[in-house]
Amino acid sequence: MINPINNNNAFAVASPGAPKTDVKGKERAVPPPPMPPEIPPEQPPMPPEPDIKGECTQSYPLSVYDIKKYQEIVNKAEGGSITFLVENGGLYTSTAFRDKLSKIAELVSQLNAYVHDKPVLRIRIVDTLGHRGEFTPGGEGIVISSSVLNEEDCLYTIAHEMGHAIYCSMPKDKEFWQKIYLYSLGNRRYGLVTDSRFTLNSGYYGHPFRNPAELFASSFAAYVMRPNEMICTDDPGILNDSRLMGKILFCYIRDKVVEGKIFGAEDPFKSCDAEKLINSITEEDIYGSIQSALHDSTCDFRNTSVSEMAANELFSRARKNERYSKLLAASAFDKDPVMRRAVIVAICRSSLRDAKMDQILLSALHDSDPYIRALVEGELLKRKINFQKPAFQEF
């Protein structure tokens, strides 16, 4: 049973990957969740009017966007110039758009103070609905969809992408981030910093569960744009272990990332230290977190699900630790198809092979879920393992 974070947040709305059953009682595959809008914002100070320069031509490294031409709009923000690369400069001549670009430039300039290597000096705006925003280290920097500009909360997307720029550049304790990430997966604790927590109408989850970098980017955006909601000291719907996670993230960003700067009205954790707090999370907590996350079918727009993330971690731990190995074997035959699928997918994806895993796959040939059976059959063929296809009665 997974506890919701509170009655208001977007987790109450959806369980996008949850298996459904049709009228004949057969499980069917779940359609991917609807394309989400990404992240939310708030208003920073007003900046100067940008210059629109002439058109230039450059190749864009990601052919998926098929962008050959764009125009430069240079915005002289207080902390330095930010260049926007847009497909059609004519769309950005209205006062409303110029104001929006100015606000983005101000925020990027402000947050560049925390980027350790190359600051973000340009933002490409692509006319596609194929994605919302991304940061590519050493490449394009920030790329956002023009549709994001129409959203009230577009600065939240920018803060999230700047979080990626900072995470890529900062010296970090990888063990710390792996531990807090695994802890965040259980009982949907990641929901505390998921972008939808702050945009209750959008229904979008954000994806802090995808990896430690995403957890950081979502936490950073929350720290900068919605600090009071992140600390959640007066929200009775937040579970205590989620509060602990929020406290650790808040203190870490405050002390290790933004040199003590507070973006909210107050700092309720003045005497707390992130590293001491994380030491209070035990190996037992992490085991319980992975176990819980294996049941969580929440997924993002790339269909990356919490259960799969947990299964990947379980798989790598199972190879070194008997307790996790037993959990893996039991999970492959759990009554929850979400858990079974995640574990079988993790086994099939791995290039590591051994007799124990082969045996799990052979047993999974008899799974009641046709998706799992098809997956396993394909994998056994790939592994050149002889098997006999069990007869299943089709309804």
Closest CA to 253 of 280, 233, 272, 281: 272
- Name the residue nearer to Zn ion (CB basis): 114 or 371: 114
* Site residues (CB under 5 A) for Zn ion, limited to 306-345: none
Instruction: Single out the segment in contact with Zn ion by CB under 5 A; choices: 53-61, 136-144, 216-224, 348-356.
Output: 216-224
- Name the residue nearer to Zn ion (CB basis): 87 or 214: 214
Report, in Å, the least distance between residue 249 CB and Zn ion: 15
- Name the residue nearer to Zn ion (CB basis): 218 or 331: 218
Pairing of strands 141-145, 122-126: parallel
Cβ atoms 195, 288 nearer than 8 A: no
Cβ atoms 101, 84 nearer than 8 A: yes
- Name the residue nearer to Zn ion (CB basis): 11 or 209: 209
Give pairs for 329-337: CB < 8 Å, separation 24+: 329/356, 329/360, 331/294, 332/360, 332/363, 332/364, 333/363, 333/364, 334/294, 336/294, 336/295, 337/19, 337/27, 337/369, 337/372
The CA distance from 230 to 163, in Å, is 15
Report, in Å, the least distance between residue 214 CB and Zn ion: 5
**Which tokens in the block code for residue 308?**
């799969």
- Name the residue nearer to Zn ion (CB basis): 217 or 277: 217
Instruction: Single out the segment in contact with Zn ion by CB under 5 A; choices: 166-174, 215-223, 329-337, 362-370.
Output: 215-223
Instruction: Name the DSSP letter for residue 256.
Output: I
Report, in Å, the least distance between residue 213 CB and Zn ion: 7
Residues in the chain: 395
Report, in Å, the least distance between residue 307 CB and Zn ion: 20
Instruction: Single out the segment in contact with Zn ion by CB under 5 A; choices: 99-107, 122-130, 213-221, 305-313.
Output: 213-221
- Name the residue nearer to Zn ion (CB basis): 216 or 315: 216
Report, in Å, the least distance between residue 265 CB and Zn ion: 27
Query: Which contiguous run of DSSP H or E holds residue 132?
Result: none
Closest CA to 347 of 331, 367, 334: 331
Size of the site for Zn ion (CB under 5 A): 2
Report, in Å, the least distance between residue 134 CB and Zn ion: 7
Strand partners for 145: 126
- Name the residue nearer to Zn ion (CB basis): 103 or 131: 131
Binding flags for Zn ion, 161-200, as an x/- string (CB under 5 A)? ----------------------------------------
- Name the residue nearer to Zn ion (CB basis): 39 or 77: 39
Instruction: Single out the segment in contact with Zn ion by CB under 5 A; choices: 85-93, 143-151, 207-215, 372-380.
Output: 207-215
217 binds Zn ion (CB under 5 A): yes
Strand ranges for the chain from DSSP E: 20-21, 27-28, 51-57, 69-77, 80-86, 122-126, 133-136, 141-145
Residue 317 has, within 13 A of its CA and on its CB side, a CA count of 21
The CA distance from 352 to 9, in Å, is 39
Report, in Å, the least distance between residue 315 CB and Zn ion: 24
Report, in Å, the least distance between residue 126 CB and Zn ion: 16
- Name the residue nearer to Zn ion (CB basis): 153 or 214: 214
- Chain position whose Cβ is nearest to Zn ion: 217
Report, in Å, the least distance between residue 164 CB and Zn ion: 6
Closest CA to 65 of 138, 167, 139: 139
Name the site residues for Zn ion (rule: CB under 5 A): 214, 217
